[in-house]
Amino acid sequence: MAAHSQPDSASDATPGAQPPPLPYEAAFLAAPFPSSLSRQCDGRLLAVNDAWLALTGSRREDVIGRTTVELGHWPDGQARHDFLQRVQADVQHETIWLARG
């Protein structure tokens, strides 16, 4: 699962709502491994690929706009919060840009 942080308010995404297109959407959707994007602020799902849907047995329209806590990915909101605190404290972020020269 990939976390995607957006400054938007929690009310921006509603169940069944279509998120704006992602710049890398075709690659994301075609990936053979389960992938999802969610807002860091509340865990609300923005996008999931077909492999994620196959793994979870869910339908895209039933999960987009819902939180990962609502979907049972966490025992409760505090468990999610504690995990994100550990990730933010322990993980260094690195961006690598590749370009043809």
Q: Percent of the chain beyond pLDDT 90? A: 47
Mean pLDDT over 4-30 rounds to: 64
Identify whether 100 is part of a domain: no
Identify whether 78 is part of a domain: yes
Identify whether 30 is part of a domain: yes
Judged against a pLDDT cut of 70, whether residue 6 lies above it is answered with no
User: What's the pLDDT score for residue 29?
Assistant: 87
Q: How far apart are the first and last CA of the chain?
A: 32
Residues of the domain holding 17: 2-90
Mean pLDDT over 48-60 rounds to: 95
User: What's the pLDDT score for residue 55?
Assistant: 93
3-class SS shares of the chain: helix, strand, coil, % to 5: 35, 15, 55
Mean pLDDT over 7-13 rounds to: 49
pTM score, whole prediction: 0.66
Name, in order, each residue with C-beta under 8 angstroms of 73's C-beta and a sequence gap of 6 or more.
1, 43, 80
Looking at the structure of the chain, the number of domains it has is 1
